[in-house]
Amino acid sequence: MMPLNRFAFLLWIPCAGLAVGQTLNCDLTGYKPRPGLQAVAGKDVLRIDWQGEGGQELRAAFGLESGQPLIRELAARKAGGAWTVLGRDLRPEFRVTSGLRRVSEQQLQPLRKLKIDLTPEVLEQEKWNAFWDAPLSVPGRAGTNPGLPRRPEEIRRATAAYNAAGCQVHSDGARLEVTFPGLSMGIFAGRLMYTVYRGTNLLRQEAIAKTDEPSVAYKYEGGLKGFGTDGGAKVIWRDTARAWQEYRFGGPPNRDPFALRARNRVAVVERGGGSLAFFPPPHKFFFAREIELNLGYVYYRKDDEGSFAVGVRQPDREEMFRPYGFSKELWERRVAQSRQFAEGNFALYNAPPGTWQRMPVYFYLSAEDGRAAQAAVLRFTHEDRFKPLLGYQVAVSHFHTHFNEQLTDAGTLDFQPPWAPVFRALGVNIAMLSDFHSDSHPRDPGPLRLPEQNTYFEGCRRNSDHGFLVMPGEEPNAYFGGHYTAIFPRPVYWIMSRRPEQPLVEDHPRYGKVYHVGSAQDELDMFRREGGLVWQAHPRTKGSDGYPDAVRETAHFRSEQFLGMSFQSLPVDQSERRLCEKRCFGALDDMNNWSSPKYMVAEGDTYTKYPEDESYSQLLVNYIQLDRVPGFTEDWSPILRALRAGNFFVTSGEVLIRNFSVSGAGTGRGVAADIEWTFPLDFVEIVWGDGETTARRIVSATERPPFGSARFRIPLEAAGAKWVRLAAWDSAGNGAFTQPVRLDQVESGSAASPRKR
């Protein structure tokens, strides 16, 4: 076999079948040749060759035609085999649809209650954390946002145009970037970039653009067009029932992208013995929603009898989830809720003025058939399953399943809810629910609530199993301020009211110990007595806007029972390198500067779910350090103790952290962790605070190969640092982070050490 670097030198000579376009002036000053990742520029073509997985070799040839960037050729081959051409003269396509970002009434309610002056500056800040917003829904759901109804002219649609005269080639560790300037797309302008990674067959195509207009919320479609329908070309995918489907382009041309509700968000172009998979990033492509319906995130479009296009997309609107209920009353109530979700919640991405928004679509080149390519893509997400890790249990939190309501309506406690197999299939071991939220009677003084709690507890017991625990949590939102999640180490009966003559605790003839809670102090006393934990749900947005800031000096916030806050990818701003970069990590770091250790628990905050949904992409999880899952009738205290000690890390699934530790003192302090990843890693960072401010140190990891693991040691040379945490993020926006560690406890030897396994 000819050595790859020698072969790359010859590739600049145009191959048979490649059109000759305009002169391509490529700036290679940022390029550093290295084995397995090379670029060669000719007069009118730039050739990129890289080493892929399993000995495969990949190549991409780029050119220009009247300012339009083209992929002159995509090809793959097995080691020592013949090249398979996957596409020629392919044109990148991007479309953007934008509307106006509005703050939600749900955010404004707690701010008004806190008597915060809703100045233009406050409204400008808060609107970027909106959840209840659907900028493309005209006229909109009354009462959801100020300034409704929406007008059709608020919505603008644009297709990318190009005016490139050349390109730039830049090396960054084990990746290579090719950039074409001159992209314009309506109110957005910027550049087109391609990235390849040594050691994997991935090719990322992305529009990187910004707008200077205010209040922009948007979504995009991105892909390639110009694939030939000849030679038996077809698109294959698995449907939501996991059955294989295909389309051979025997139908008429399409006017619009034909959305495929493909399982795992992946479809594949298959032709000539090779294949090209296409898919969005696993998590950062998805903004927060109430439900996880598969809305069709990949598309094909037959443009004419001889050509077609493929890519990724988001729809314009939410769809109604499947209502449930044997009784007419329940059915109608859930139909109304389904309609409310569909009309009021589809927030899109944020595009604050001047921010560089990245709009990627991934391709996976393969010299094998489509099913093999799809399987290779699923390796990046462990087949959409949270990988088992020795000594850890996978826990999820905050799901409004309406379980009590379903059990009662079904007329039996022996009822499998549709969300149970979803969690099991994802690899979840501990599911913490948050019922009594738009269901049942949470504020009832006892006659209704206590039997409902009893049904809820029994249903959780019957759906638990060895290695799978359903914990009956709640989002009570009673007296602590804002919204918050609550869990106990056992089922606890309690009522959110207390008459003057009632004791805090009474012995009920049927249910045993029952708490009557009528104040924040009562609630705190109950959690202390029972060993429960609470944390602020969706801080600084939704019904917790203004929190936990407003309660930072209260007894409950300062107590051991107040664990911290929740983590959810809300909002999504494609200019940020991390999931929920500003709101979530900003609140976490502030809390640790305010007081004793506070932690961040991954939460879903979604409603009904079914096995055919795309739940993995909208879920973040907690890996709790536990050797086993307690049974339902056992004491769940080990779970709560591990949470309280910070002995867990949060992840999107593709990056895992183990053996995290902080050691040393003074200038000799350091942080170490064993990290593994699937997508090419981007960076590892430590973040610390001194009680007033927060700082970070970023260590580039772009030299690391995909599907790798390594031990990272990062010195913490920061005078006055009081706490530190670690995080790792990959090139697709996936990541994981540890909980903050108090350095005074490490130095005194009193800190629990999670973290070592």
Please give the CATH number for the structural domain made up of 654-757: 2.60.40.1200
pLDDT reading at 381 higher than 60: yes
Query: Where do the domains of the chain lie?
Result: 4-96+159-319+349-380, 391-651, 654-757
Please give the CATH number for the structural domain made up of 4-96+159-319+349-380: 2.70.98
- pLDDT above 90: percentage of residues in the chain: 91
Q: pTM of the full predicted structure? A: 0.95
pLDDT reading at 519 higher than 50: yes
| Span 183-232, pLDDT tens digits | 999 999 999 999 999 999 999 999 999 999 999 999 999 999 999 999 89
Lowest pLDDT segment from 442-456, 581-595, 646-660, 662-676: 662-676
Closest residue by Cα to residue 15 from 91, 76, 87, 72: 72
Task: Convert 620-680 into a string of H (helix), E (strand) and C (coil).
Answer: CEEEEECCCCCCCCCCCHHHHHHHHCCCEEEECCCEEEEEEEEECCHHHCEEEEEEEECCC
Could you tell me which residues come within 8 angstroms of residue 208 by beta carbon, excluding any fewer than 6 positions away?
A: 183, 190, 191, 192, 193, 356, 357, 358, 359
pLDDT reading at 751 higher than 80: no
Mean pLDDT, rounded, for 16-22 = 56
CA angle 660, 664, 666 (to 5 degrees): 125
Lowest pLDDT segment from 11-15, 279-283, 564-568, 712-716: 11-15
> Which superfamily is assigned to 391-651 in CATH?
Metal-dependent hydrolases (3.20.20.140)
How far apart CA 157 and CA 220 sit, in angstroms, is 10
Lowest pLDDT segment from 254-258, 382-386, 646-650, 747-751: 747-751
| Span 285-299, pLDDT tens digits | 999 999 999 999 999
pLDDT reading at 7 higher than 70: no
pLDDT at 749: 56
How far apart CA 515 and CA 494 sit, in angstroms, is 4
Q: To the nearest whole number, what is the mean pLDDT of the chain?
A: 94
pLDDT reading at 748 higher than 70: no
pLDDT at 717: 87
Mean pLDDT, rounded, for 15-37 = 81
pLDDT reading at 235 higher than 90: yes
pLDDT at 21: 66
pLDDT at 112: 98
